Every structure is written in structure tokens, then in C-alpha cells.
Amino acid sequence: MQVIGHVAVSVFRESVRDRVLYSLVGFAALLMGASYLIGQLTAGQDVKIIKDLGLAAIATFGLLMAVFIGIGLVWKEVERRSIYSLLSKPIRRHQFILGKYAGLALTLLVNVTLMTAAFYLVLAYMNTQFPENVRAIWPAPATDPGMLRAVALTFVELLLVTALALFFSTFSSPFLSAALTVGLWVIGHFNADLRNFEAVVESRTAASLARGLYYVLPNFAAFDIKTQVVYALPVPLSYLVTTTAYGAAYIALLLTGAIVIFGRRDFK
């Protein structure tokens, strides 16, 4: 466990050295700029739009980080040939993979936490710009803590994307890993279509195949509850627990696969 921790901390330090946290400046500038411009561009709805924009930006910045750092986690070590010196140390291959994953997860956690803090600060400022009678008709307060549920599920989604990127990076090039990860992320939003495929095709085989893919492919749409939190609609606790458990199981599956593939790779 200690070894995994060391690898994780080194991944986090490397991402700080690579100026990954600069993305936070971009995020804060985007939100502050938008909060000023939105009022000039639209008739009301400023707070709703900032909520939508903030939640979407947290997911997008996180997704870019998860994909583009995730695909290089293993590949970089192989490309630099530092993998030889690493594996000659008392580090087992599964510890290397899990440490790399935990390091990127830590980087994402720090980023998402800071972006969420900036998001709430902007909303708290916007809250002061509207009189009480206007605030009273909003479906939820500007700084509604209920939005943290959407941020939490977004974080689980990012952990799943990271696991996918890491899995692909154990056996393919960075370009192919990025293409496969993004491709699965896109397909993962069409799960409802796969489920209802039998309504549009006559072939039972095709319908069964689509139904099978529905169960096997990662269902990324399940992690998206932004509409519910922005409109303060109920999100049952059971839904949050089940979706998080689904994400955790999928991550465990992918990491196991990554460990098996990486364990069999010949670096001689």
C-alpha cells in the first residue's frame, strides 16, 4: 500500500510540475467572464446559465485531464525507458498500475474540488446581484449544496474515464488510447438508444446484440444528473449509491484488466 502511495504522490507532483493546475485559472476566468457577459446577452436566467456552464465546465476540464494524462501514464514510462529502472526496484507491476491510477485520481480530486469552490464563489457573488423577490422564484438557491451531488457523480465518471484511458494505455499507442477512450465516452451517452434498438430494427439478432452492448459498455449517461440538481428535482439516495457502485465495479474491472495486460508485457 505504501508503494502505491509513493507512486501516486509522484504522479501528482509530476502533474503539478506539468502545470496541469493552470487549468483552474482557465476555469475561474471562464466562469467570471461568463457571469459578467451572460447578464448582457440574455433576458434573465443568469444564475441558471452559470450553473449549467459551471457544471459542464467541471466535467469538460476533468474529462480532458482524465483522457490526456491517463493515456500517457504508462506510455510515458515505456517511451522514456524509465520503466526498466522502475521495475528493477521493489515495485510490483500491479502496484505500479494502481499507484499511477491513484495519482491521477488525486490530481482530479484536487482539480474538481478547487473548480467546485470557484464555482460556488461565483454563484455566491451572483446571489448578491439579485433582489429577494427575484431569488424567491428560482427553483433552487444560487449556492444550493444539492449541486454537490452532480459534482460527486461527475467525479466518479472521471474516475471511470481515467480507468478506461489507463487500461488502453497498457497495450496501445497514446493516439489510439485517446480515440478509444473518447469513442467509448461518446457511445456511453447513447446507451438508451442501444437499449431500445429493437424498436427500430426487425432483426432479433441485431436487437439482442445491441441489448448485450447496452449491458457491457460503460453507461456514462447514468452519471449525468445536472438537470435534476439545477432544477432541484429529487435524486433518490439509492440512485446515487447504485450509480457510484456501478462506477466502482467498472473501474475495478478495468484496473484488473490493465494489471493483467501490463503484467504479461515483456519489457526485455
Partner 1 sequence: MSARLVVLFIALGAAVVGLQAAHERAGGPLTRPTEALLYVRSPAMMTRMALSYDMLLADIYWIRAVQHYGGIRLSADPDKRFDLLYPLLDLTTSLDTRFGAAYLFGAIFLSEAPPGGPGRPDLAIALLEKGLRAQPAKWDYAQWIGFVHYWWRADYVQAAEWFARAGELPNAPFWLKPLAATTLAQGGSRASSRALWQEIARTADEGWYRTSAQHRLRQLDAMDQIDELRLAVDTYRQRRGSPPADWADLARAGFLRGRPTDPAGVPYRLAGGAVSLDPTSPLNPLPKEPVRRR
Residues engaged in binding partner 1 (CB under 8 A):
38, 41-45, 48-49, 52-53, 55-56, 59, 133-134, 136-137, 186, 189-190, 193, 220-221, 223-224, 226-227, 230-231
Rounded least distance, CB 123 to partner 1, Å: 15
Q: How far is the C-alpha of 207 from the C-alpha of 187, rounded, in Å?
A: 16
Contact partners, residue 124, CB within 8 Å, separation at least 6: 142, 143
Nearest to 108 by CA among 48, 157, 46, 170: 157
Task: Indicate the residue among 82 and 227 with the shorter CB distance to partner 1.
Answer: 227
**222 phi, psi to nearest 5 deg:** -65, -25
DSSP letter at 90?
A: S
Task: Indicate the residue among 11 and 115 with the shorter CB distance to partner 1.
Answer: 115
Rounded least distance, CB 251 to partner 1, Å: 19
Q: How far is the C-alpha of 97 from the C-alpha of 266, rounded, in Å?
A: 15
Rounded least distance, CB 233 to partner 1, Å: 8
Task: Indicate the residue among 52 and 144 with the shorter CB distance to partner 1.
Answer: 52
Task: Indicate the residue among 36 and 84 with the shorter CB distance to partner 1.
Answer: 36
Return contacts of 97-100, CB within 8 angstroms, 24+ apart. Answer: 97/166, 97/170, 97/255, 97/258, 97/259, 97/262, 98/4, 98/7, 98/255, 98/259, 99/3, 99/4, 99/5, 99/6, 99/7, 99/8, 99/10, 99/11, 100/7, 100/8, 100/11, 100/73, 100/74, 100/166
Task: Indicate the residue among 132 and 266 with the shorter CB distance to partner 1.
Answer: 132
Task: Name the grid cell of 208.
Answer: 439482442
Task: Indicate the residue among 172 and 228 with the shorter CB distance to partner 1.
Answer: 228
Rounded least distance, CB 146 to partner 1, Å: 15
Q: Which residue has the cell 497514446?
A: 174
Rounded least distance, CB 188 to partner 1, Å: 9
Q: How far is the C-alpha of 35 from the C-alpha of 27, rounded, in Å?
A: 12
Rounded least distance, CB 39 to partner 1, Å: 11
Rounded least distance, CB 185 to partner 1, Å: 8
Task: Indicate the residue among 16 and 186 with the shorter CB distance to partner 1.
Answer: 186
